[in-house]
Structure 1
Amino acid sequence: MRRIPNRNKNGSFVFMTSKKKARTTVKARIRKLIQNAGAKPAQDLIKQINAVLAGWVNYFRIGNSSRAFSEVPDYTEMKIRTLLTRRKRRRKRSIGWQRWSNEYLYGVLGLYWDWKVLPLKSAESYR
């Protein structure tokens, strides 16, 4: 959390976002889950990943975290697509964006999709 000067008005506003270390930690947990998956069905793996993502998102939801939030789902999608490509024993020309669309990841497999950031309340509402 830090104060940023407001360009349009006098004063400043509070800028709250997750730190780089927090994003790195959640990505490491996702990577570890995927590495230890073995032959586990994709739906079971997604359930475990969803638990990690839901906890992280709910902790950092309030604030100005939309840029930080875009980093984690992009990484998660890439890792899952890479895993599915390896399981189908396809050549790695790409990560699998065409074969496994977002509709498949979020609709069929049920990957966590509640990345909505809640804005901070104004300072007057806390007084």
Structure 2
Amino acid sequence: MKFPSATRLCVLGKVSAAEMLSAVRQIMDSLKLAINDDKTRCLRCPEEALEFLGYRIGRNYRPQGGGAYIGTKPSKASVQSICRKISAQTAAKYGLVSSEDMVRRLNRMLSGWANYYHLGQVNPAYAAVDAHTTKRLRQWLCRKHKVKIGKYARYPSERLWGHYGLIRLEPMTKGLPWAKT
């Protein structure tokens, strides 16, 4: 039986790293699975943050200064990745696409990304993605309609969200528990 080479495993516990690693090796040996020693590492959480499956697991701080806790949030790489995809989607070569189709494409990308990254402290990541999306859609609309002056007056964020129907990620967090890890 062949397993995918991209299988990932993260083990957290309170015993020493050597004990945990030997226990994992025993389990993996009994399953006849190999451990890639180049990709295996031991670290102390929360002193060192761990990036795993697009999330950063480590020490987070409460926004109102209530202290620190160990939790998750979308990694910077995952936020940069969705922003690159949004930039590619709103490139000049898509100038002939209708505004409704462009917003529909962006909404599908945003909702899919937000459905995956909804655990932990997501507000800063959602705000960054929202800001990037509104900026790129505004630029795309200005290129499409050849607007050079008054970009914010002609395409304010409220119009992009209301008239065009671009979804906002940041208000989606109001109904979520603050830390769901």
TM-score bracket, normalised by the shorter chain, equals: 0.7 to 0.9
Is 2:153 the partner of 1:98?
yes
What is the CA-CA distance between 1:25 and the residue it aligns to? 0.7
Q: What does residue 125 of structure 1 align with?
A: none
TM-score normalised according to structure 2 size: 0.58
Q: Deviations over 1:33-72 (max 9, x none)?
A: 1124230101101101111100111111121111111100
Larger Rg: 2
Name the CA distance, whole Å, in 2 between partners of 1:82 and 1:99: 11
Q: How many residues align?
A: 118
Name the CA distance, whole Å, in 2 between partners of 1:82 and 1:121: 36
Is 2:132 the partner of 1:109?
no
Say if 1:5 and 1:113 are closer, same or farther in 2 by CA, change over 3 A. Answer: closer
What is the CA-CA distance between 1:105 and the residue it aligns to? 0.7
Name the CA distance, whole Å, in 1 between partners of 2:154 and 2:73: 34
Unaligned runs of 5+ in 2: 1-56
The structure showing larger relative contact order (alpha-carbon pairs under 8 Å, at least 6 residues apart) is 1
What is the CA-CA distance between 1:113 and the residue it aligns to? 2.3
Residue 179 (structure 2) aligned to one of 116, 120, 123: 120
Name the CA distance, whole Å, in 1 between partners of 2:111 and 2:128: 15
Unaligned runs of 5+ in 1: 123-127
TM-score normalised according to structure 1 size: 0.79
